[in-house]
Amino acid sequence: MEILPLTGVGKLEFGQRKKDALNLLSSPSTIINENGLQDEGYEKWEYNDLGIELSFENDGQQLLISITIESDIASLNGINPVGLDEASLIQFYPEIELSNHHEKLKNYIFPNKGIELFLRDNKVERIYIDPDLDEFIEKTGPKRWIRQKQIDDLLLTT
């Protein structure tokens, strides 16, 4: 499966509904926060055998909003980042930027691509993939995202 920045992974695309993921991947191993009843409002599907976690909005539309990869099932530009050491990561992806560093933990980002790489002990452990929020809002219009964007825009103008 190829990681498609700001779009998804393989045939999984941001904005798809849960039923689309079921058709592509079948039933998840585990469902966390089913129907988004806890505070964060996301339902998470874990596919342990694939090393993929999908997060869905629960504002009624049940849309795919985030993908986490924890295995070598996905590649970016033909390279599987999970398991790479930090030096190789920087060599293969010179455009990445260190965004956070605390002892044995590091986060690198691909600027403006919605991809974050989490490293533990200098090895890539997981990849977070997110959509372009403005485009996602335009495409799907989840009410909560629209309200949050309005609040953010208001705060930026004051």
Can you point out the beta strands (E) in 103-156?
105-110, 115-120, 123-129
- What does pTM read for this prediction? 0.83
- Topology of 3-157 in CATH? protein yfey like fold (2.60.460)
Q: For residue 36, what pLDDT is reported?
A: 61
Q: Could you give the CA distance from residue 154 to residue 122 in angstroms, rounded to a whole number?
A: 40
Other beta carbons within 10 angstroms of residue 76's beta carbon come to 21
Q: Determine phi and psi for 42, rounding to 5 degrees.
A: -110, 145
Residue for token digits 């953010």?
152
Give pLDDT tens digits for 24-79: 998 999 988 776 666 566 889 999 999 999 998 876 678 899 999 999 999 999 99
Domain coordinates in residue numbering, the chain: 3-157
Residue for token digits 């779009």?
7
